[in-house]
Chains A and B, each alone.
Chain A
Amino acid sequence: MNRREFLKRSMVVVAGMAVPAAALHLIDPKQLLAAKPDLRWAFLVDAYKCVGCGFCVKACKLENEVPYEANVSRTWVERYVVKKDGEVLIDSPKAARDGFTTKKIEVGEGKFREVKDEEIEKAFFVPKLCNQCENPPCVQVCPVGATYSTADGVVLVDRKWCIGCGYCIMGCPYGVRFFHPVHKTAEKCNFCYHRISKGMKSACVDACPFGARQIGNLRDPNDPVTKVIMTERVGILKEEYGTKPQVYYIGLSKEVR
């Protein structure tokens, strides 16, 4: 090998090494965040207002093309029935896509249980969706970086890059994720990113007739959602996992899982 050739070859090697390094550099979310500091999406659920109609679930399935009959959903509503003797019954039949149309409570394996009205101490509904955690374990565990946090605080999945290992599904403490039955990649709620980034509200927020769901920008002090989160008593789910969820709840109860 002469000198000229040597130089040529080493340039190729150096360039080859520089490409992946540069690629890693580009997708550093912190830098992106610094570039766009004035937007941070957050969600507010007022559980007092939820009546369990399931319109949000229906709207979500249609909007985000999650097969209507498949028993998975980006969002769902749970019903809690707390009995006088302390027993707690929870269900979410078909993710509450059709609402709660019967008093019978689903207990799995195709069975139902009926609770007499006079045995019930309290009962309520809790809508659930991805918490767009600030410290998301699903992003941490993705081996290929197909799940990532955006600068404005939403966790997204790249369907073109996901290998379908399911590690993120295992890593999410909220049971939010699943495999899309058609795309065969990890799937979850993304606050309707395609809508909110165009100035619209997410499909579930628009579909809720009772205003139980609201979405807003945490960086905007005048945003009504932000005002509530900042000034009222709100709760989050499963704080103990240290995931820093960005879905805030009014009217949580100790029974809520």
Chain B
Amino acid sequence: MLHGEAWTVKELFVYPNEYIYWTIQIVMYPFLTGLVAGAFVLSSLYHVFGVTKLKEIARFSLVFSFALLPCAPMPLLLHLQQPQRNLNVLMTPHFTSAIAAFGIVFLTYGMIVASELWFVYRGYFVTTALKLRQKPNRTLSETVLMSLYSILVMGAWDVSHHALEQDEKAVKILAAVGIPVACFLHGYAGFIFGSVKANALWMTPLMPVIFICSAVVSGIALCILTYVITMELRKLIITWRRKENPSLPSPGELGGVETQVVTMTSRYLIMFLILAITLELLDLIFRGYTAVKSWDILRSVIYGKDFTAIFILQYGLGNLVPFILFLLPGLTVRRAVVGTILVLFGVFMMRWNVVIGGQAFSASFAGFMHYHMPIWPHDMETFKEGLFGALMVGSIPFALFWLLSRIFPIFDLKESPPSSSRH
């Protein structure tokens, strides 16, 4: 089976060997790394710049960033023709290639997030583990949790005021170091595309910057969205449980979605959104104005073939509409939710229009290619490079997030006692 033939349709003159080789998984890759980086930057706004209003969402987005992290390389792995050889990249990295350092950058970033997470939660681990130890009749799950926490503490049982202050300092430093690394991780994804001189649409030095800005936008949007959903779910579950056990706190006592958190966070979202759009438009105008050799074909892709995807779906539905939704006075949580969903969609479309749009025309500049995304898979390849492969990759972070939130509580649970030493 010829890779690419199943979903590529050629129009006019396309070199015989040209197909859409990079498909939906390569759209997912920058989308997911973008979310990782964005979520981390959001959490750092609180830790580094002391934006206390973001306190509630900061820890949340840190855990979320950690959950997204292992998923970012997954689409890359899935699209390889020889996935079992992926370690070759670490064994013989060829550093003139933009992809070669991926493993290294990625692992560095992963270590930073993991250690920041550890410092944030160490105090909690210690107190909970000690408390559970004293408990006479533990349930099985409590015993498991206790041993897990005891391991995670890694021998650092000191929870004196001084020690906790040290922790906080470490968190601050890690968060500060993490911002440039997160930006690098994602700017790097932009560089992978921006440095391909053979591709007229990709090649621009603005690509990494555009990628970073839209990454932050999408990361913040996803955090707001998940934050609201988790809060609401929590309320639902509590109401339901209270039917059997009325001693539990009422949803009101629990505290719902804090509108203020949402408003504040969406303000940052808007800021980065403006930046991202400005850069993208600058790029577009510049291309039109300089009108080099490739402009003819680019124009027919941007204003012709991909008009709907770019101007209606990405800029219109994905940028302009949420922009208005967020800026209209009296932002409600519901409106913010609609806005964030649209923003996420917009950023996804932006990735799509870069990756797929960049392959929508032939390097001969005399023909076009169309990607017909496989919906129902009929073999492994059409699964991997089709709708369901993408959905699979996209849903794993949420499962991971749920799992992680069992270990790292993400809310200041007003009803649960061991909430002492966290911030």
Contacts and interface: CB of A to CB of B under 8 A. Distances in A.
B82 A73 contact: no
B17 A143 contact: no
A164 B198 contact: no
Interface stretch (A114-122, A178-186, A218-226): A178-186
A164 B13 contact: no
Nearest to A77: B16
B364 A175 contact: yes
Given A90-B366, A142-B94, A171-B198, A177 B17 contact: yes
Interface of B: 1-5, 9-19, 21-22, 76, 79-83, 85-86, 88-89, 91-94, 96-100, 102, 192, 195-199, 293, 362-368
A72 interface: yes
Interface string A45-75: 0000000000000000000000000111100
Contacts of A174: 15, 363
B197 A170 contact: no
5 contacts: A107-B11, A143-B94, A144-B92, A145-B94, A181-B3
Contacts of B89: 143-144, 163
Contacts of B10: 108-109
Q: Is the interface of A mostly helix, strand, loop or mixed?
A: loop
The 6 closest A-B pairs by CB, nearest first: A164-B81, A175-B15, A145-B94, A143-B99, A90-B13, A173-B198
A175 B363 contact: yes
Given A71-B5, A144-B93, 6 more contacts: A108-B368, A162-B85, A164-B80, A175-B16, A175-B362, A178-B17
A76 interface: yes
B13 A91 contact: yes
Interface string A120-154: 00000000100000000101111111100000000
A236 interface: no
Nearest to B13: A90
B184 to A, nearest CB: 17
Contacts of A107: 11-13
Given A163-B82, A166-B81, A170-B198, A144 B94 contact: yes
A92 interface: yes
B99 A184 contact: no
Nearest to B362: A175
Q: Is the interface of B mostly helix, strand, loop or mixed?
A: loop
Contact of B2 (A72, A137, A185): A72
B365 A108 contact: no
B16 A170 contact: no
A175 B1 contact: no
A207 interface: no
A192 interface: no
Nearest to A164: B81
Interface in A82-109: 88-92, 94-95, 107-109
Interface of A: 23, 70-73, 76, 78, 88-92, 94-95, 107-109, 128, 137, 139-146, 161-167, 169-179, 181, 184-185, 240-242, 257
A68 to B, nearest CB: 12
A70 B3 CA distance: 10
A73 B16 contact: yes
Nearest to B103: A143
Contact of A142 (B19, B22, B97): B97
Given A171-B198, A173-B197, A241-B198, A165 B15 contact: no
B17, B92, B99, B102 — which one has the most chain A CB atoms within 10 A of its CB? Answer: B17
A121 B12 CA distance: 20
A38 B198 CA distance: 31
Contact of A181 (B2, B79, B197): B2
B13 to A, nearest CB: 4
A94 B22 CA distance: 22
A162 B80 CA distance: 10
B198 to A, nearest CB: 4
Contacts of B12: 90, 107-108
A240 B13 contact: no
A191 B195 CA distance: 28
A144 B88 contact: yes
A75 B196 CA distance: 23
B21 A170 contact: yes
Contacts of B368: 108
B120 to A, nearest CB: 34
A185 B82 contact: yes
Contacts of A163: 80-83, 85-86, 88-89
Contact of B21 (A76, A109, A169, A240): A169
Contact of A170 (B13, B17, B22, B96): B22
B421 to A, nearest CB: 37
A91 to B, nearest CB: 6
Nearest to A106: B13
B1, B12, B16, B96 — which one has the most chain A CB atoms within 10 A of its CB? Answer: B16
A107 B368 CA distance: 10
A178 B4 CA distance: 10
B2 A166 contact: no
B92 to A, nearest CB: 5
